[in-house]
Chains A and B, each alone.
Chain A
C-alpha cells in the first residue's frame, strides 16, 4: 500500500459544517463570500477529479462533497444556520418543553387558526380576518428577522450563552408565525 493511500484512509472528514468551510462557528456569514468558498471547495473535491485515484481518495472526495453540499444548504438559510449552531451548542428545540413561547402569541396563533378553519369552510368574514392577520404576521416576522440579525452580530462579537438563549426563544416564536403565514397564504390562494 502506498503511503498516500494510507494517509487518505486515516484522513478524517470535518466533524461539523463550519469546519467544512474552515471557519469557526459563527452566525453572521457573508453569503456571497460563502458561496464563492463553496464553489472553490466543490471544484477542489469534485469526485470527477479523482476518477483515477485510489478507492480511499475517491471515497473521501465523495463524502466530502456530500458533506459540503449539506453544509451549504443549511448555511445559506439564516434560520437553518442558527438552528444548526444552537444544536451544536446544546440548545435543541426538543428539550424546550412547551412553555417557551409567550401566552399572548399562542392565543393569537390559536385565534388565527380558528379563522383559517372558518375561511376554509367558505366564510367570507373569516377570509377578511385571515388577510388582515397575514399582513400583521408578515410584519411580525420581518421584525423578528431584524432582531435575529442583531443577535447574530452580538453572538459573533462575544459568544455568550445569553445570546443563544435569546435566539432560541426568537426562533421558537418564529416557527409558529412561519406556519401561520404559510397556512394563511394557502387559505387565501
Chain B
C-alpha cells in the first residue's frame, strides 16, 4: 500500500518525538493502544497554568507509518491551542490532512483517543491539586 506524501514526511521526519516528566502537574499523559494491530502510542501535553494554552506536546509511537504520522501531526496541532480547542480535534481532521486510506483510519482514532486521554490526565491532576491545596489550608 502506498503512503501519501504527508504521511511519509511525518514518518521520515517525525515532529516532537520524546517525553516529558509524567509527574509534573502541568503535564498530561495519554497512553493508548490499538488492539487491531498491537500499536501503542504515548502522547503528552504541557499546559501553561496561567494561560491554559498547550505550550508543548511530545509523542512516542510504536506502530505503523500512519500511526506515527497521526500522532506527529497531532502534536503539531496541539501546540498553541487551549485545552478546550484541543478537545475539538477529530480523527476525521487527521484522516483528511494525511489522506489516510480506510484501512488506516484506526490510526487516526488512536491519535484522537491519545489527545483525549492526555487532556483527561491533565484535568484530573489539576483537580487533584485543588483537593491537595484545599486540604493544606
Instruction: Name A residues whose Cβ lies closer than 8 Å to a Cβ of B.
Output: 93-94, 96-101, 103, 106-107, 109-110, 113-114, 171-173, 175-176, 178-180
Contacts and interface: CB of A to CB of B under 8 A. Distances in A.
Contacts, number: 52
A48 to B, nearest CB: 37
B35 A106 contact: no
Given A94-B106, A110-B62, A176 B38 contact: yes
A99 to B, nearest CB: 7
B35 A175 contact: yes
Most buried by B among A93, A98, A101, A107: A98
B31 A97 contact: no
Interface of B: 31-38, 40, 42, 60, 62, 106, 109-110, 113
Most buried by A among B32, B33, B37, B110: B33
Contact of B35 (A100, A103, A114): A100
Contact of B40 (A99, A113, A173): A113
Given A93-B36, A109-B62, A176-B40, 11 more contacts: A98-B32, A99-B113, A106-B32, A107-B31, A110-B40, A110-B60, A113-B40, A113-B62, A175-B38, A179-B38, A180-B38
Contacts of B38: 109, 175-176, 178-180
